[in-house]
Structure formats: C-alpha cells, structure tokens
Amino acid sequence: MAMILEIAAQGAQMGLVLALSPLLVGLTRKAKARLLRRRGPSLFQPYRDLLRLLRKETVLAENASWLFRSAPYLIFAATWVAAALIPTFATGLMFSWSGDLIAIAALLGSARFFLALAGMDVGTSFGGIGSSRETMFASFAEPATIMIVFTVSLIAGSTQLSEIAASTLSHYELRVSFGLALIALAIVAIAENGRIPVDNPATHLELTMVHEAMVLEYSGRHLAMIELASALKLLLYLSMIACIFAPWGMAPAGAGARALGLGALAYVAKMAVGGFLLAFFEISTAKMRVFRVPDFLGAALMLGLLGTLLLFVSRSL
C-alpha cells in the first residue's frame, strides 16, 4: 500500500506541473491586464491555444532536417522531466533522489541546445539571430546559476532539492547570502523565460525578439510542444524559488493523503502569488535593449559570487 501511495504521489507531481503550467501563463497575462485596467484574456486561453495548435496542420520548410522535426519533442521531454524533479507539494517522493540542482541545470541546458540548433536548421536570418542571442545570454546565465547552486548547497549541505527544502524548514534563519541567491535566481528566471525586461513574448519585433525568433518557422503540433515547454519552464523556475526559499506547507516524506492534499493547495497558492508578482514586475519596468542584457545577467553572476564568498568569509552572514 505504501508503494502504491508513493507511485501515485510521484505521478500526481508529474501531472500537476503539466496541468498547471498553461494556467500559470494565463494567470500572469490576466494579472497584467487587470493591473493595466484592461479586461484581458481568459485564464484558460493558453489551453485553448494549445488545442488549436494541435488540431492545425504542421507545415515544414523544404530544407528542414530531422533535427528540426524532433527538436520540439526533445525540448518538451527535457523540460518536463526537469520540472517534475522539483519538489512541489511534498518532499521525499519516489524520484526525489534525482532532484539535483546540477541535473536540472543540465536538462535545461540540453533543451536550450536543441532549441538553438533548431533555430539555425532551416537557415533563416531570424532563426540565426535568435539562436545567437540565446547562446550569448546563456553564457552569462549558466555561470550565474552555478554560483547560485554553490551558495544554496553550501548553506544546506546538499544539491538535492528535497534536502535543501528540509534544511530551510528546520534551520530557517535570515542570511545575507540566502537573500543574494534569491535575487540572483529571480534575475536568471526572468532572463531564461524571456520575460520583460529581457524579452517580450507578446511581441514580434525583429530587432529585440529572442525566443520568438527561433520558433517562427514552427507550426501545428510542433509549436504546441514548444509553447507547452515554455510554460513548463516558467513554472519550473517559480517552483524552484518556492522550494528553496519558501518551502512552507510542503508535506514531509511519508505523509498521508491529507497532508499531500494540503501541500498541493499550498503549492497552488504559492504559484498564484509568484505569477502575480511576475505580472506586477513586468508592468513596472520597461523592455531593455539587447546589448544591456549581459549587464543584467552580470548582476546575477556577481550576486551569486558575492553570496558564495560571504559564506567562506563568515558562516554567520
């Protein structure tokens, strides 16, 4: 019976992140519209968009290779696995041993690698521009991520997210290094998801777009896979921030069905708060120029590095 409950909890974890990711995108769009005193689209519009894309015919460029056709599925699979490894409503699930920060960063790096290759595969100028910009941003975002992982793992004594969440719950205290890591991770999350001020997913301006430039040639079910992977990535980063810095409400390992249900409710509430804060931040700032993005990500790298150095200088900071 215990084994069945563990399998069911792990399956619920994987299904929850997949089901909630389009709703988070819809919530963010709705919150932005309401904050700007507009009515905005329905919360469920991303689900309708995905269904519409799945019903449409897939059109491929004549010179598209096997990589262009298979990349959407590879990107979706890598992103879904990474999102499913992050503890959402409970710690100590069946696959929690594999929920390692370095493994998750590697999965996201693989997804970005395939997306950049797919953007260059058909040989259009937009795809090449988007891929080169994505690669340039990644060269700043990945070192910053490594610094954040160092800071968090030095505090918790592990790179596994379940142990980090358990450590935060049992030994929570205000630390300068922890706060620096939180700000750095928020900056990386904004850049990695192509949100304002780094990119604007709602526009198609050729001088500024990054992610949209790489997926312009996709249509039908291929575009649906990429859009769903993009929504999963946004949920992944908000889940990671909640797991590391605000793990309250999560069910402990071996908890019963009632504790798991309460943990799921707490997780949904945290995602709603995260989506609203993201929308509030996006309407409060303006889109920056492309050549300013390295400075923005450089700040995350410096904050992560400063947090790591502070831990070595004084364990009390």
pTM above 0.75, yes or no: yes
Q: Are 200 and 208 in contact (CB under 8 A)?
A: yes
Q: Report CA 195 to chain centroid distance, whole Å.
A: 11
Q: Domain total for the chain? A: 1
Apex CA 165: angle with CA 315 and CA 13, to 5°?
160
Q: What is the pLDDT of residue 47?
A: 97
Domain span at residue 165? 1-316
pLDDT for the residue 316: 53
pLDDT per residue, tens digit, the chain (317 aa), is 667 777 887 888 889 999 999 999 999 999 999 999 999 899 999 999 999 999 999 998 888 899 999 999 999 999 999 998 898 988 877 777 777 888 999 999 999 999 999 989 988 888 888 888 888 889 989 999 999 998 999 888 888 888 888 888 887 677 888 899 999 999 999 999 988 888 877 766 656 667 778 888 899 999 999 999 999 999 999 999 999 999 988 888 777 778 888 999 999 999 999 999 999 999 998 888 888 889 999 999 999 999 988 888 866 54
> For 251, phi and psi rounded to 5 degrees?
-75, 140
For 140, the token pair is 């700043």
CA distance between the termini of the chain: 45
Q: How far apart are CA 18 and CA 11, in angstroms?
A: 11
